[in-house]
Amino acid sequence: GGGGGGSRSRGRRSRSGGARRTARRSRSRERAERARQRSRSRGTRGTSGERRQAKQGATSRSRERRRHRSRSQSERAKQQQQQPARRTSRSRRRSRSRGRRYSRSKSHSRRARRRSRSPEERIPPVDFSDYEPSPDGGGWYVYKKTGKWKYHPETGLYLHVKSKVYYVQKEGDPKTFRKIEDDEDPVVKKMKQSEEMRKAIQSTEFVKFDESGNPAVQDDQLAVVEEAVAHKAPGPDPKPLEMVREEELRHEGRVQKWDSDKGFGFIVAINREGEEIGKGVFVHRKNVVGSTATNPINLKEGGKVAYKPGEQDNRPCALEVMMLGADGKPLPIHAGAQTLEEKKKSYYVTAESLGLRVHAESWPGLKKTLQDRFVSDEAMEELGVYFAVLDGHGGTQVADHAAKQLHKNIMNHFRQKQVQPASRDEKIKLAIKEAFTQTDKEILNMAERKKFELVGSTVVTALLHGNPKLGTALRLVIANLGDSRAVLCRGGQAVAVSEDHKPTRIDEKKRIERAGGLVLQVRGAWRVAASTNPNSMSKSARREYQGLAMTRSLGDLYFKQPTTLSIAEPEIQVVPLSDKDLFLVLATDGVYDVLTNQEVVDLVLRHWDNPEEAAKNVVRSAYKRGSEDNLTVLVIQFGWADKNVPKYLEKRSGTLGVSLGDALAGVSKKGSGGDIFTVSSSKKPVDDDVDMFG
C-alpha cells in the first residue's frame, strides 16, 4: 500500500506522459518486493514498541561492559602498585632471556660469517686517518682500532698481520684488492727497498772532519792521543776545533714565554752567570729538535735551552732548540731526533753532488723588457734537484711569484704525501699537480687584489728525482704549462719530453670549445679568445676581445673566470734516465719558434763540457735567426755521461760542422756559434703589446 501511494504522489507531480509513469510504478513495485523478502528472511521484526525495548536493552548491556572494564583496570593498577618488585623482576627476567637469545643468535651468525670468509675476501680499511705510525720506524702505519692491519703509504701495500699476506688496490677500482702471494712482485720489492733505505739511514756511521779536511780522531786512535797528551807541555788544554765551532754556533738562553696551544714563544739569551742579555727571540715548536706534528714537544717556561740564531720570514728566530738538563747537556728527548736529523741531512743532494753542469742564459731579444724567469739548481733535500723556465706575458708578476713559490709548494705536497726517492710515478704526479693548482690559486687571488688580471706565464719544470746515495736511480720528471719546451739529448738525437699547449692542438681546441670558448685565427696566429672586460656594464667593452697564444698557463684571470678556458693542470712525463742521455735543454718559445729541437741539441753538443757557452750559443743563434721574443735557455749537462759523449760526437761530427778534436776540446771553429745564421740589420725593438682585437 505504501509503494502504491508513493507512485501515485509521484505520478501527480509528474504529468509528462503515460510511459514514464508506468516505468516508475514498476520500479517501486520491485523495491517493495525486495524489502518484503529481506524482512521475511530475517524473521518477524515485531512492532515498534518491541524494537524500542530491544534497543534500550542493548544500550544498558554496553554500559555494563564499559563499567566492568574500567573496574578491572583500576583493580590491576592497584595490584601493580602493591607488588612493583615482583613485576619488575619478571620484566627483567623476560628482557634477560630475550637478550640471551639475541646474543646467542648474533654470535652464531658472527661465527658463521667468520667461518665462511676466506682470505681472498679480506678487505682492509682504507681510511688513512685510522692509521698511526708504527713505533719501529719502518715506514709502516698500524690500524689504530684493531691492530690487525698495516699500511705502507710509499707503495700502497696493506698487510694482514696475522696471516702475513699483502694486499694492494686494483687499478681503476679502489674498492677491490689484489692478493700478493709472491715476494718477487714489483710492489713488494719496492717496499723492501724502502725499508732497506730507512735501515741504512738509521745505521749509518758518520765521520767528522777538521778544518783541514782530515778525519777527526776516532775511538781506536784515542790511546795514541792520550799518550801524546801525557808528554805535552804544561798549560791549558786547547779545545778541539769541532767543539769550538759548535760552541760558536750555539747560544744558551732561557724560555721567557711559551704558549702550548699555539706552539710558539720567546727565548732570551743568557751569559755564563745566568743573566739575561738583550730582547727575546721568537721560537716556533717546529724548530724544537725532535718535535713533530704527531709528537709535539713543548718548552718549559723558565727552562734553560740551547739554540742557533737564525731568520724566518726576515725576522730573527731561534733554530734547533734543545732543552738542557742540570748538567748542561741536552735532554734525552732530543738526542735520538738530533742524530736522525743529522743522518737525514747527509743524504741531501745538489746539482754538484749529482755531477750536473748547469747554466742559464736569458736575453730580452728584440723586446724592450725581459719577462722570462728561470730557476736553476734548487735542492729538494733528499728527493732531487729542481729546475724551471717561465715565460711571462702582460707583465712579470705571475712569473716572479711562480719562480719563488712553485718549488716550495711541490716540496710541501711531497711531504704531505710522504714521497720518497723510490715512490711510485702516480704519487709524484699527483703531488706536482696539486702544487701547480695551489700556486695558480694564490696567483689568481693576488690578481684580483693587485689588479694584474691580464698577466700570465707559461712554465716548464724539470725535477731530477732520486738519490744515488740511497741506491735509487734518477728519474726525469717534466711538468709543463704552455709553449715552453723541454728537449732531451739521447744518443745525439733530440727527444721532446714535453708537448706545447697551443690552440692548434686538436684535443686542446675541443676542450676549449666544449667549455664555450672560441679559437680564432688573428693576424695569422691562432688564439684563444676571451672578453677583455667581462664584468663591464658596457656592451661594447664586453665585445672587445683579447687573445691568448697558449691553452694552459698560470694566471690569466679573464681566461679562467667566469669561464674556464685556460687551465693550470700540467702534463707530466716521468722518464727513466739511461747512459745514452747526455743533457737536457729547457727553453722558451722564442727559441723554438725559429730553431728545431735537433738544431738546439746540435748547438749545445758543440760545447758539451761547457754549459755556459752552450746556452749562449743557442741564444745567439735564435736571435740571429730572427726571433722577436725574449730568449731564455737553461742547459743541464749530465756529468756521468761524459764517457759516452765521444762516440756520439763522432757520429754527428759531419752534421755539426766541427771536427771531433775541437769538439772534445770544448772549442768550436771560428764563426760556428751562430754565424751560419743571418739577421736583418733593420730590426728594431718590438713593443710588448697585449694581443688585443675587436
Candidate from 4-18, 408-422, 476-490, 549-563 with smallest mean pLDDT: 4-18
Select 351-501+568-652's CATH number: 3.40.50.2000, 3.40.50.960, 2.60.40.10, 3.60.40.10: 3.60.40.10
Looking at residue 337, its pLDDT comes to 59
Contact 455, 395 (CB under 8 A): yes
* Segment (H or E) for 365: none
Alpha helices by DSSP H, listed for 467-567, are 506-514, 539-542
Predicted pLDDT of residue 33:
86
- Mind listing the pLDDT tens digit for each residue in 612-630? 999 999 999 999 998 888 9
Are 209 and 215 within 8 A, CB to CB? yes
Exposure string for 334-370, b = 16+ CB within 10 A, e = fewer: beebeeeeebeeebebebeebebbbbbbbbbbbbeeb
DSSP of 77-146: HHHHHH-HHHHHHHHHHHHHHHHHHHHHHHHHHHHHHHHH--GGG------GGGEEE-TT-SS-EEETTT
pLDDT value at 262 more than 90:
no
Closest listed residue to residue 306, CA positions, set 347, 343, 335: 335
Average pLDDT over residues 581-610: 91
- Give the contacts of 379 (CB within 8 A, at least 6 positions apart): 348, 349, 350, 351, 385, 386
pLDDT at 668: 38
- Residue 517 above 90 pLDDT? no
Alpha-carbon distance of 422 to 424, in angstroms, equals: 7
For residue 245, what pLDDT is reported? Answer: 43
228 pLDDT band (50/70/90 cuts)?
very low
Nearest to residue 420, comparing CAs of 378, 383, 384? 383
Region 562-568 average pLDDT: 85
Whole-prediction pTM: 0.54
Residue 266: pLDDT over 50: yes
- Answer yes or no: is pLDDT of 474 > 60: yes
| Residue carrying the nine cell digits 524473521 | 43
Cell of 151: 699500511
630 against 690, higher pLDDT: 630
User: Residue 489 — very low, low, confident or very high, per pLDDT cuts 50/70/90?
Assistant: very high
Separation between Cα atoms, residue 676 and residue 683, nearest integer Å: 18
Mean pLDDT is highest, among 227-241, 272-286, 315-329, 578-592, for 578-592
Angle between helices 84-116 and 48-82 (to 10 degrees): 80
DSSP 8-state code for residue 413: H
Residue ranges of the chain that CATH labels 3.60.40.10: 351-501+568-652
Q: Between 93 and 623, where is the model more confident?
A: 623
Rank 133-147, 181-195, 339-353, 479-493 by mean pLDDT and report only the highest: 479-493
Higher pLDDT among residues 272 and 242, named by residue:
272
Q: Is the dihedral of CA 549, 554, 559, 560 positive or negative?
A: positive
Report pLDDT for 694: 33
Best-predicted range by mean pLDDT (104-113, 115-124, 287-296): 287-296
The CATH code that applies to domain 251-344 is 2.40.50.140
Q: What angle do CA 644, 649, 655 make, to 5 degrees?
A: 155
Name the amino acid, one letter, at 677: F
Higher pLDDT, 616 or 171: 616
Residue 451 scores a pLDDT above 50: yes
pLDDT tier, 189 (very low <50, low <70, confident <90, very high otherwise):
confident
Instruction: Specify the pLDDT at position 687.
Output: 41
Residue with the three cell numbers 771531433 = 660
pLDDT band at 690 (very low <50, low <70, confident <90, very high): very low
Angle at 102 between CA 96 and CA 106, to 5 degrees: 140
Output the pLDDT for position 72.
64
**Residue 682 φ/ψ region, left for φ over 0, alpha for ψ in the -120 to 50 degree band, beta for the rest:** alpha
Question: CA 88, CA 154: separation in Å to the nearest integer?
Answer: 60
Over range 99-110, report the average pLDDT: 55
Confidence of residue 30 (pLDDT cuts 50, 70, 90): confident
Tell me the range of 70-74, 207-211, 448-452 where mean pLDDT is highest.
448-452
Any idea what DSSP says for residue 641?
G
Give the pLDDT confidence score for residue 227 in this predicted structure: 47
**Mean pLDDT of the 112-135 span:** 67
> pLDDT-based confidence at 385, cuts 50/70/90?
very high
Q: Where do you find CATH 2.40.50.140 in the chain?
A: 251-344
Question: Could you tell me the pLDDT band of residue 80, with boundaries at 50, 70 and 90?
Answer: low
Q: Is the dihedral of CA 2, 8, 13, 18 positive or negative?
A: positive
Helix (H, G, I), strand (E, B) or coil at 389: strand
Query: How many angstroms separate the CA atoms of 571 and 500, rounded?
Result: 10
**Residue 82, pLDDT above cutoff 70:** no
Q: Which residues contact 656 (CB under 8 A, 6 or more apart)?
A: 602, 605, 606, 649, 663
User: What is the average per-residue pLDDT within 427-439?
Assistant: 93
Least confident span in 106-115, 380-389, 510-519, 596-605: 106-115
Q: Count of CB atoms within 10 A of residue 162's CB?
A: 7
Laid out side by side, the sheet with 545-548 consists of 518-522, 525-531, 545-548, 692-693
Average pLDDT, integer, range 249-258: 84
Is it the case that residue 120 has pLDDT exceeding 60? no
Q: What percent of the chain has pLDDT over 70?
A: 69
Query: Can you read off the three cell numbers belonging to residue 458?
Result: 707559461
Output the average pLDDT for the chain: 76
